[in-house]
């Protein structure tokens, strides 16, 4: 979350101040690791493994292969999946 915030801090500060309820929701979801918990339960892995994957760059072949495996599993369950599988949060 900090990395996304630091990419364009002035724009993000203005957005956070003009949308306080959204900012509070995003911060609270990050504090309780809600997104990581959801992914961990779907993929049957630990929250720490999800967090480790989210911190890895996409140029590591093992990580990309794991994402592709997860995408295939989720396609079977949910159907077609777009780029949302690869996004962590929407606070930019």
More confident residue, 5 or 76: 76
Q: Tokens 């801090």, residue?
A: 9
More confident residue, 2 or 25: 25
pTM over 0.95: no
Query: Is residue 85 within a helix (H) or strand (E), and if so which, with residue range?
Result: none
More confident residue, 3 or 69: 69
CA–CA dist 8, 45 (Å, integer): 32
CA–CA dist 59, 19 (Å, integer): 34
Supply the DSSP string of 27-69, one letter for each residue: HHHHHTTHHHHHHHHHHT--HHHHHHHHHS-TT-HHHHHHHHH
pLDDT of residue 48: 87
What's the chain's average pLDDT? Answer: 75
């Amino acid at each position: 979350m900090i990395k996304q915030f630091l990419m364009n801090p002035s724009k993000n500060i203005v957005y956070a101040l003009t949308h306080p309820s959204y900012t509070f929701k995003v911060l609270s979801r990050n504090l309780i690791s809600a997104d990581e918990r959801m992914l961990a339960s779907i993929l049957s892995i630990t929250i720490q493994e999800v967090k480790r994957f989210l911190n890895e760059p996409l140029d590591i072949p093992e990580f990309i292969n794991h994402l592709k495996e997860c995408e295939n599993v989720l396609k079977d369950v949910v159907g077609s999946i777009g780029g949302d599988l690869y996004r962590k949060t929407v606070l930019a």
